[in-house]
Structure 1
Amino acid sequence: MTIRLSALLLLLYALGFVLFGVSLDKPAGAERTDAIVVLTGGKGRLERGMAVLKQGRAKRLLVAGADPSVTRADLARRLGPGTLSTLRCCVDLGSESVDTRSNAEEARRWMRRRGYTSLRLVTSDWHMRRAAYEFHQDLPDARIVIDAVETHPSLFTLFAEYNKYLLRRAALWLDI
């Protein structure tokens, strides 16, 4: 009985991993939101958020989890000419958060200060499921548009992220 139960749990775990890997989120369409929240730590995230902001799909952008030493001028050098004015007018650098969970908390405080009720969440496709879960937990009344940056994650990256996602869900379920 124990062996069968263990085998069933292992099979469910493996099938869940396969489903996780083949159902990564995609970029969002042209839907407007009050805000854009970009989670730091991955290639193409900031560029995607800035492109959406420049297209007028949101009023303001928060870069959640930015290193406190990073300035708008640093980002302008990275993003190229013509971005400094947009960075100055419409981008906030949040340096309060250090992980996905605190990114959601930082975004919640920022959105409440500004009176926003909807956001476009920008992060890597492999990171989106856990990030969206955290944001839905912290901002249950907000309308969240998922806008994943497409990547080609390694098997190791997917495996690590799948386990983080499962552990976070279990921690919330067990109220830890």
Structure 2
Amino acid sequence: MFRRSAKGSFISLRLSSFIIVSSLLFWIGGFFWFAATLPEETSSHVAPVDAIVVLTGGSDRINTGLELLANGQAKKLFISGVYQGVEVRELLSLSQQAPNNLECCVTLGYEADDTRGNALETKSWLDEQGYKSLRLVTASYHMPRSLLEFRHAMPQATIQPYPVFPSNVRHKDWWMWPGSMTLILSEYNKFLLAQIRNWGEDLRDKLIG
């Protein structure tokens, strides 16, 4: 009896060790895949879309969105995750854009406080406008998770990524810069959690449906 119990415990320990090591290797491999697939440049092919959507988090994002709007790349610009109290004219002034030229075509969203909130807030606005396509502007390291959340929230919409590249983030040699490596690692973990949550929600919907 004792021998059987000891053998069973040994097998359980080996199985647990195998699962832990496999999970760790999967996580490490996934991280390097994630870092290697981050966008390194903006695509030169810019197809027409209904709207430009900017996720707040850096001045480069807003300036890029305003530039795309000024160049006639979309009908309207939606900026998601703006602080309460900020108005379009104030934002345009801070971004050194001419308020009289663009104010009519910019809408600010105040409800979102995370990437999933950005996606849900944008979906609501797109539905109100009757739009079906958008160009998503956010930082390159944030783009994978943003696309994941946006495509999950609005699977029928056409979403074109338009990454920007903050000067304080190293993209090609990130492993040599602790700040950039920590940022990308944090974003990878958030990406995994978002993916697991979305899978869980999809499974729940299938079971309920």
Distance verdict in 2 for CA 1:18–1:86, change over 3 Å: farther
Give 2:122's aligned residue: 107
Look at both structures and tell me which one has the larger radius of gyration over its CA atoms: 2
State whether structure 2 residue 46 is matched by structure 1 residue 20.
Answer: no
Structure 2 residue identity aligned to 1:23? T
RMSD: 1.6
Give 1:35's aligned residue: 51
Partner SS for 1:27:
coil
Give 1:45's aligned residue: 61
The CA deviation string for residues 15-37 of structure 1, in whole angstroms up to 9 with x for no partner, is 11111112112424322100011
Percent identity between matched residues is 37
Give 1:162's aligned residue: 188
User: CA separation in 2, counterparts of 1:94 and 1:86?
Assistant: 20
Alpha-carbon contact 2:152-2:198 (below 8 Å) kept: no
Q: 2:86 aligns with which of 70, 75, 94?
A: 70
User: CA separation in 2, counterparts of 1:45 and 1:39?
Assistant: 7
Alpha-carbon contact 1:33-1:58 (below 8 Å) kept: yes
The structure whose RCO (Cα within 8 Å, separation 6+) is larger is 1
Unaligned runs of 5+ in 2: 1-13, 171-179, 205-209
Q: 2:103 aligns with which of 82, 88, 93?
A: 88
Q: 1:10 aligns with which of 18, 24, 45?
A: 24
Residue-pair matches, total: 175
Unaligned runs of 5+ in 1: none
TM-score, with length taken from structure 2: 0.79
Give 1:122's aligned residue: 137
Partner SS for 2:79:
strand
Alpha-carbon contact 1:37-1:64 (below 8 Å) kept: yes
The structure with more helix, counted as a fraction of residues: 2
Partner SS for 1:174:
helix
Residue 174 of structure 1, CA deviation: 2.2
Structure 2 residue identity aligned to 1:107? T
Partner SS for 2:160:
strand
